């Protein structure tokens, strides 16, 4: 999500022997703009002091601020572009955050899960907070350790030791960068479950959330491991773990050009965003439960007593988001026993729907600006319904006009065809369903913990799919001249089939349709002809019902009529092999969570097939990322 840059160069007699820290940091932030952000800021160390500038909005706003209030030319600096999580996108919440009387500056990516506990502890010590962010809590903690616990230490190495002790207290996913006026030629950084890479130069060293942050200056990079701290000066890079033990990173050479670097070395933003999905799901799950395993959806500021009275849920969305809503319906009804409808937002208000104060309307929108969905939400509120938004864009219109919001943390999605936002939306919908079940007592707390445990295993399972996807890509390339592909699924596999078909329509411009597999015999089977490719999303054979056997029968039905059957199945499902020309296996997971895995192969297939046809997968014809007209 957010962009991070750090730089230390060499000074000679108080001057600069090389690059200006501010120039390097601003160029790095410009390169990282593709990640998406809503504020930007920088800090430099000069003459025993920290000087900082930060502004909400685009990088141009920060540059204008720097032109009006210039910073000194120095050799040490850090910079940040923020995607708001804790606290809105304001000047005050922008990074860097200062502490230790203005002598310490900190920037941060990720989420500090135990920030509330730490904040209370620091408030008791008399610390004053100026923002709503968890980052300022981390800065205050670091300053408290630096100033008090390490009061007797010399300045040399003190910031690194303070970072080690601070990281031992922090929970969650984070990358932290810090500079201190007492050590003007040092940047210290820490990494846990959030990206950070070191750039190696001659008489200068760099830090970045990815190599785009410094690719204009060096192609030598060091990949940091989990729970590591790095201290850079102009001439040294030292890596330790959180307990001060020496550690090593992995050096590599960056072969991408600057344009490719923005895509992480992938050929398209869509491909990159497909590979972002383990992190997108993990970030959406991050910080949503307390130490007792109870869900704590702090953004849902609706009186729990009102939510307990809900007797009907309506999910509103368009396109891919509507398919996320269909998955949500299965989960919410299963866990909460509340009747749930899924409606296309652009049709909703024109049919005179029945709503009242006990109706909960859940809108799903990646951008938060989808006009059809916004108008439907406004209508629902006029009718007295409670409204909750699931959205990926902090501060956008739909969340602002809803009674409550549950933000996904997928990071910005550049490609028009949605991938990681879709999986994050499904994940958020699961959290909402579990939260409602927890409030209403529909399922035991132990069951909720079990589902959360299964959800937390999903990112690693998605990564396994990504790591083993080359045969699927080969299949897609071999099918570049196909004119039509059909998709079948049942239960939660049905919306996956619809989404798989939509991806092919959007970026490959070929006829593709998704069907409920049981609907085949009621008409669509007439489309089957010799060689017709049919993807089938097969449910787990471990389920308590007979859906697996029924879908295997559907495979046999289309195969008997000449179809080319391409199957997505769970590992260990040997029964499908006899009836499938091609099988792609995904890891085992509970049935309701299967869409988070089964969707990924279909995304990979569509992206590879479209690329093989020579199309721009990021910007397909006739489409826009956000539909802001009705």
Catalytic residue among 58, 449, 457, 625: 625
For residues 377 and 300, which has the higher predicted lDDT (pLDDT)?
Answer: 377
Q: What is the pTM of this model?
A: 0.80
Task: List, for residues 107-129, the tens digit of each pLDDT value.
Answer: 998 889 899 999 999 999 999 99
CB of 314 closer than 8 Å to CB of 353 = yes
Edge to edge, the sheet with strand 204-208 lists: 49-56, 39-46, 76-82, 3-9, 204-208, 197-200, 220-223, 250-253
- Other CB atoms within a 10 A radius of the CB of residue 153 amount to 13
272 is annotated as an active-site residue? no
Q: Could you give the 3-state DSSP secondary structure of residue 20?
A: coil
State how far the alpha carbon of 277 is from the alpha carbons of 109, 427, 472, in Å: 17, 11, 18
In 313-358, where does DSSP find H-type helix?
320-336, 345-348
Mean of the pLDDT values across residues 554-577?
91
List Cβ neighbours of 128 (8 Å cut-off, separation of 6 or more): none
For residues 624 and 225, which has the higher predicted lDDT (pLDDT)?
Answer: 225
Q: What is the dihedral of CA 418, 424, 428, 431, to 10 degrees?
A: 140
Catalytic residue among 2, 167, 318, 391: 2
625 is annotated as an active-site residue? yes
Task: List, for residues 352-397, the tens digit of each pLDDT value.
Answer: 899 999 999 999 999 888 889 999 999 999 999 999 999 987 767 8
Question: Residue 412's pLDDT band (boundaries 50, 70, 90)?
Answer: confident
Rounded to an integer, what distance in angstroms lies between the CA atom of residue 404 and that of residue 425? 15
For residues 166 and 89, which has the higher predicted lDDT (pLDDT)?
Answer: 166
Note the pLDDT of residue 605.
98
Question: Residue 571's pLDDT band (boundaries 50, 70, 90)?
Answer: very high
For residues 468 and 409, which has the higher predicted lDDT (pLDDT)?
Answer: 468
Task: List, for residues 485-535, the tens digit of each pLDDT value.
Answer: 999 999 999 999 999 999 999 999 999 999 999 888 899 898 888 999 999
Options 3.60.20.10, 1.20.120.160, 3.40.630.30, 3.40.50.360; CATH of 3-256? 3.60.20.10
Classified by CATH at the fold level, domain 269-456 comes out as Rossmann fold (3.40.50)
In 560-624, where does DSSP find H-type helix?
595-612
Question: Residue 23's pLDDT band (boundaries 50, 70, 90)?
Answer: very high
- Other CB atoms within a 10 A radius of the CB of residue 92 amount to 15
Q: Is the dihedral of CA 22, 24, 30, 35 positive or negative?
A: negative
Q: Do domains 269-456 and 464-625 have the same CATH topology?
A: yes
Edge to edge, the sheet with strand 228-232 lists: 97-99, 104-112, 172-180, 183-192, 228-232, 237-241
Note the pLDDT of residue 63.
96
Q: Quick one: the chain helix, strand, coil %, rounded to 5?
A: 40, 25, 35
For residues 281 and 621, which has the higher predicted lDDT (pLDDT)?
Answer: 281
List Cβ neighbours of 170 (8 Å cut-off, separation of 6 or more): 112, 114, 118, 138, 141, 192
CB of 191 closer than 8 Å to CB of 226 = yes
Quick one: 464-625 is in which CATH superfamily? Glucose-6-phosphate isomerase like protein; domain 1 (3.40.50.10490)
User: In the chain, where are the structural domains located?
Assistant: 3-256, 269-456, 464-625
Note the pLDDT of residue 624.
73
Percent over 70 (pLDDT), the chain: 97
Fill in the DSSP letter of residue 32. Answer: G
Task: List, for residues 67-77, the tens digit of each pLDDT value.
Answer: 999 999 999 99
Q: Could you give the 3-state DSSP secondary structure of residue 182?
A: coil
List Cβ neighbours of 495 (8 Å cut-off, separation of 6 or more): 323, 324, 326, 327, 489, 595
Q: For 385-437, give the DSSP string.
A: -EEEEEESSTT-HHHHHSSEEEE-------SSS-SHHHHHHHHHHHHHHHHHH
Burial label, 57 (beta-carbon count in 10 A; 0-12, 13-18, 19+): middle
State how far the alpha carbon of 472 is from the alpha carbons of 468, 605, 607, in Å: 8, 6, 11
Note the pLDDT of residue 497.
97
pLDDT-wise least confident of 167-181, 220-234, 383-397, 539-553: 539-553
Question: Residue 549's pLDDT band (boundaries 50, 70, 90)?
Answer: confident
């Amino acid at each position: 999500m957010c962009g991070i840059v750090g730089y230390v160069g060499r000074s000679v007699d108080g001057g600069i022997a090389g690059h200006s820290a501010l120039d390097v940091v601003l160029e790095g932030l410009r390169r990282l703009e593709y990640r998406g952000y809503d504020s930007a800021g920088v800090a430099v160390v000069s003459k025993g002091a920290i000087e900082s500038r930060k502004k909400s909005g685009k990088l141009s706003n920060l540059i204008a601020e720097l032109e009006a209030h210039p910073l000194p030319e120095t050799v040490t600096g850090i910079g940040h572009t923020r995607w708001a999580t804790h606290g809105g996108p304001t000047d005050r919440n922008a990074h860097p955050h200062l502490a230790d009387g203005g002598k310490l500056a900190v920037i941060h990516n990720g989420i500090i899960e135990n920030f509330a506990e730490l904040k209370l502890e620091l408030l008791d010590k008399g610390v004053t907070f100026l923002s709503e962010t968890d980052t300022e809590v981390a800065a205050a903690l670091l300053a408290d350790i630096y100033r008090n616990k390490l009061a007797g230490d010399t300045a040399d190495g003190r910031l690194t030791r303070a970072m080690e002790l601070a990281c031992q207290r922090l929970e969650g996913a984070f990358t932290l960068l810090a500079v201190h006026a007492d050590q003007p030629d040092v940047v210290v950084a820490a990494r846990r479950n959030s990206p950070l890479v070191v750039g190696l130069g001659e008489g200068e060293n760099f830090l970045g959330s990815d190599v785009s942050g410094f690719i204009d200056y060096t192609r030598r990079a060091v990949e940091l491991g989990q729970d590591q701290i790095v201290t850079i000066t102009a001439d040294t890079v030292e890596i330790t773990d959180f307990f001060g033990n020496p550690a090593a990173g992995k050096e590599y050479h960056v072969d991408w050009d600057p344009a490719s670097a923005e895509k992480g070395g992938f050929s398209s933003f869509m491909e990159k965003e497909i590979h972002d999905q383990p992190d997108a799901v993990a970030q959406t799950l991050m910080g949503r439960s307390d130490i007792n395993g109870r869900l704590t959806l702090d953004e849902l500021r609706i009186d729990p007593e009102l939510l307990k009275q809900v007797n009907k849920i309506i999910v509103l969305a368009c396109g891919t988001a509507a398919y996320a809503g269909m998955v949500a319906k299965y989960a919410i009804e299963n866990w909460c026993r509340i009747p749930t409808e899924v409606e296309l937002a652009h049709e909703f208000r024109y049919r005179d729907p029945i709503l009242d104060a006990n109706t909960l309307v859940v809108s799903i929108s990646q951008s938060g600006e989808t006009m059809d969905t916004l108008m439907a939400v406004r209508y629902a509120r006029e009718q007295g319904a409670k409204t909750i938004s699931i959205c990926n864009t902090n501060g956008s219109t739909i969340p602002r006009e809803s009674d409550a919001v549950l933000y996904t943390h997928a990071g910005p999605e550049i490609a028009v065809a949605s991938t990681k936002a879709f999986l994050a939306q499904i994940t958020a919908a699961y959290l909402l369903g579990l939260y409602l079940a927890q409030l209403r007592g529909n399922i035991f707390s132990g069951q909720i913990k079990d589902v959360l445990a299964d959800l937390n295993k999903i990112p690693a399972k998605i990564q396994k799919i990504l790591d083993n996807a080359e045969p699927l890509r080969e299949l897609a390339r071999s099918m570049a001249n196909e004119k039509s592909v059909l998709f079948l699924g049942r239960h939660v596999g049905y919306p996956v089939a619809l989404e798989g078909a939509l991806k092919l329509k959007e970026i490959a411009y070929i006829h593709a349709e998704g069907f409920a597999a049981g609907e085949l015999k009621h008409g669509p089977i007439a489309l089957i002809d010799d060689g017709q490719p049919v993807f089938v999303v097969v449910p787990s054979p471990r389920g308590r019902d007979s859906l697996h056997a029924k879908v295997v029968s559907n495979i046999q039905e289309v195969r008997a009529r000449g179809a080319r059957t391409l199957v997505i199945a769970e590992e260990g499902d040997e029964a499908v092999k006899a009836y499938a020309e091609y099988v792609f296996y995904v890891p085992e997971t509970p049935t309701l969570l299967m869409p988070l895995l089964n969707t990924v192969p279909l995304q990979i297939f569509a992206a590879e097939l479209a690329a093989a046809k020579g199309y721009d997968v990021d910007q397909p014809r006739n489409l826009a990322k956000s539909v802001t007209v009705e």
